[in-house]
Structure 1
């Protein structure tokens, strides 16, 4: 069987250096990546799964918030990714959201964001690095816990926004030590999970590779018209 095809959204500004890393992780997990971005062709019907990647802040217009002066926006990408997530969920296509992508997943499902997350969560360390220097605490009895275990996880951090109110059918999967939401996951098919960090930079860590593996497994299940969440659960039992 051919590898599941995963559409990956990237920034037109920095995607040239980020996409190869994401594509490498997808290949390790058994899939094949195609790059999407504003102004590029992006058809849900042509892929088996979707990754909404990291990048600029999300416009508060999408969730009824007020713009802060420090925000850096990409409205064309906002429009593209909102449309893609809507179509993915309605077509039963699994989604992995990375940083901005996790936030966009939440917004599309009716949730809101903290634009100045570290101003709200004073106990959260403000770290901007691709190195694993931030600690996140994984919630027990979640899909993320099944994928990566429940031990505290060291991750990287590049974000200033974070999830506030959860969207429909989502639950919290991880928090940082200050209580800021660091991962969310959908509780019904299609499979969807969002993480606030950048696992593509941490490909040497088994717990990070497990996120890409779960997406590819869910994408394979979709190809076969099978339930995705049980397929991911079954795959984790093989480890």
Structure 2
């Protein structure tokens, strides 16, 4: 058993330095070692026990057999790489947290699909992007999300164009916003397999948001202990 659990943090080949830095900071905060993964890395030869799939560009609809509805802004190289990371993590039952596009890609990998735009589906909430916790999250009772966040309703940020429509296999909806748009999914039968639509890494000063990463690392430690 390693001295520190290693948490892989995915992202594009270039850029995304701020979310990567924020996630790495929180991972270190809770006594684990971050490992930055980029397209081209050999994921099967690297040593890590948990995964965070970070946010970024929209998911290519070809991955869920849909026609293009909005102006494309995709990263096919990243889609392919992170799909492989998710598949590898699922195969090896690694605790995994998907953030924003990471939640969407996790959902697609498990057979779900996405809304390609959300503006037309909003009535009570703004479509404006903000990294500040200005939107309301309603958490489903008796879910892992409720246990980790410690709340039934709290504030979140919003930095996304797309959202989850049909939920993938093994997953349930554990959080929505005031318009009923899915904000969190989880696999209740897994130790930790959660996707959140907001960006908790940008809210690291809020303890309940840090708990998502803390719980991920605790799940990794539990798994390592049981395997030792």
**Fold agreement, TM-score > 0.5:** yes
SS of 1:213's partner is helix
SS of 2:19's partner is helix
Provide, for residues 52-84 of structure 1, a one-character-per-residue CA deviation record: whole Å limited to 9, x for no partner.
000000010111111123331000110011111
Other-structure match for 1:149: 150
The reply to whether residue 71 of structure 1 matches residue 72 of structure 2 is yes
CA RMSD of aligned residues (A): 1.6
SS of 1:189's partner is coil
Other-structure match for 1:214: 215
Is this contact kept in 2: 1:44–1:84, CA < 8 A? no
Is this contact kept in 1: 2:70–2:117, CA < 8 A? no
Aligned counterparts of 1:127 and 1:3: Cα–Cα separation in 2: 39
SS of 1:88's partner is helix
- Correspondence list, 1:22-171, <5 A: 22-43=23-44, 46-171=47-172
Q: 1:211 to 1:144 in 2, by over 3 A?
A: same
The reply to whether residue 7 of structure 1 matches residue 8 of structure 2 is yes
Aligned counterparts of 1:64 and 1:120: Cα–Cα separation in 2: 21
Other-structure match for 2:188: 187
Cα offset for 1:214?
Answer: 0.8
Aligned counterparts of 2:120 and 2:47: Cα–Cα separation in 1: 41
Aligned counterparts of 2:45 and 2:57: Cα–Cα separation in 1: 23
Is this contact kept in 2: 1:124–1:179, CA < 8 A? no
Other-structure match for 1:232: none
Residues matched between the structures, number: 226
Aligned counterparts of 1:97 and 1:175: Cα–Cα separation in 2: 16
Other-structure match for 1:176: 177
SS of 1:133's partner is strand
Gaps of 5+ in 2: none
SS of 1:43's partner is helix
In the superposition, the TM-score normalised over structure 1's length comes to 0.89
